[in-house]
Amino acid sequence: MASADPDLAAAGKDFIRGGWIVAMLGFLGAIARMALSNKKHPAMAWILKGIAGAITGIICYFALHGSSIDPLYKSIIYSCSGAFSSEALSRLKMLLPAKTKRTRQ
């Protein structure tokens, strides 16, 4: 059975071959940011922020897979996206309920 989108199938195969490292880098980037902060975090926060970094790294991987960006720049984007994902997602989480409350009134 043929895939509907051969580019997506190729991206999936490339991810299995070595793209999963991007998820690990995103996870480790988020963990490193937490380790460098002075705040104390519960164990669950470490896990959740690490997972958020991994997911963001995967999304960036698939978003940039077919692009003709220099590999060095791609790796910088992957690592920064994972490292800063927890702050970006926390900020988005704070903004979304505030926007929906304003539109209901």
> Could you write out the DSSP letters of every residue in 17-63?
IIIHHHHHHHHHHHHHHHHHSSS---HHHHHHHHHHHHHHHHHHHHH
Q: List all residues 6 or more positions away from 64 whose beta carbon is below 8 Å from its beta carbon.
A: 74, 77, 78
pTM score of the predicted model: 0.69
Of residues 94 and 104, which shows the higher confidence score? 94
Query: What digits encode the pLDDT tens for the residues 5-22?
Result: 567 777 778 778 877 888
Do you know the residue count of the chain? Answer: 105
Question: How would residue 100 be classed by pLDDT, with cut points 50, 70 and 90?
Answer: low
**Token pair belonging to 16:** 């299995």
Distance CA 71, CA 85 (A): 21
